[in-house]
Amino acid sequence: MEAENVYQVFDWLWCSAQLTEADIAKLSELGIEAVINLAPPTASNALLGEAELVAGQGITYIQIPVAWEQPRLSQLDQFFAVLKAFESHMIWVHCAKNKRASAFIYLYRKLCLAAEEEVIASYPMNEIWTPNSVWQAFIDHAIQHIKGLSAHD
C-alpha cells in the first residue's frame, strides 16, 4: 500500500492515511468490503473521485467528514454504528493522516470492545501521534459521555 501510516488493527479492520488510486485497486484483493473515510472532502490531500473509485470496486463507501478542529460525539456515534452494521465484514478506515481514524478506533476499542489495557486500546494511535489539545479533550469527553450513559443503565 502506498498510503502512510497503514496498520492492521484486527483481521477485519485496517486503517491508514489517505488512500491512493493504486491502494483502492488493491482493496478487493485484501477482501475489504467497506471503506470509511473520516476526512472531509476539503482535506488538502483528498483523492478526487474517491467514492466512485471505491464503489467501482464493488466496495461500500461511507464518508463521515470530521472537521479537524471540531470532532463531534455524533460523528463518533455514527462511526460506532457503521462498524456495528458491518460486523463480520472487512473494513478499511482512513482519513488524511490516520490521526482522526486512529483516535476513533482507539475510542471504539476502549468503549465498545472494553479493551482495558491502554497499550492495546491505544494501538495504533500511539504509534502515529500524540493527540493535540483539541483531540485529547474530545477523547476525554467521549469517554466521560459513554461512562455517564453506562451509569444510567
Domain containing residue 33: CATH number? 3.90.190.10
Place of cell 468503549: 111
Count: domains in the chain: 1
Answer yes or no: is 125 within a domain.
Answer: yes
Helical ranges in the chain per DSSP H: 21-27, 50-56, 73-85, 100-107, 118-121, 125-128, 133-151
Enumerate residues 6+ apart whose C-beta is below 8 A from 141. Answer: 73
Answer yes or no: is 2 within a domain.
Answer: no
Cα–Cα–Cα angle for 71, 75, 80, rounded to 5 degrees: 125
Answer yes or no: is 1 within a domain.
Answer: no
- The pLDDT confidence band at residue 118, using thresholds 50, 70 and 90, is confident
Task: Answer for the pair 142, 107: CB distance below 8 angstroms, yes or no.
Answer: yes
- What tens digit of pLDDT does each residue of 40-86 get? 999 999 999 999 999 999 999 999 999 999 999 999 999 999 999 99
Answer yes or no: is 68 within a domain.
Answer: yes
Place of cell 473494513: 91
Answer yes or no: is 54 within a domain.
Answer: yes
Mean pLDDT computed over every residue of the chain: 94
Answer yes or no: is 18 within a domain.
Answer: yes
- What tens digit of pLDDT does each residue of 101-115 get? 999 999 999 999 988
Answer yes or no: is 21 within a domain.
Answer: yes
What is the C-alpha separation between 39 and 19, in angstroms, rounded? 11
Q: Which amino acid is at 80?
A: F
Enumerate residues 6+ apart whose C-beta is below 8 A from 55. Answer: 61
Residue 150: its pLDDT value, please? 64
Residue 79: its pLDDT value, please? 98
Answer yes or no: is 86 within a domain.
Answer: yes
Domain hosting 28: range is: 7-151
Q: Which amino acid is at 29?
A: E
SS3 for 29? coil
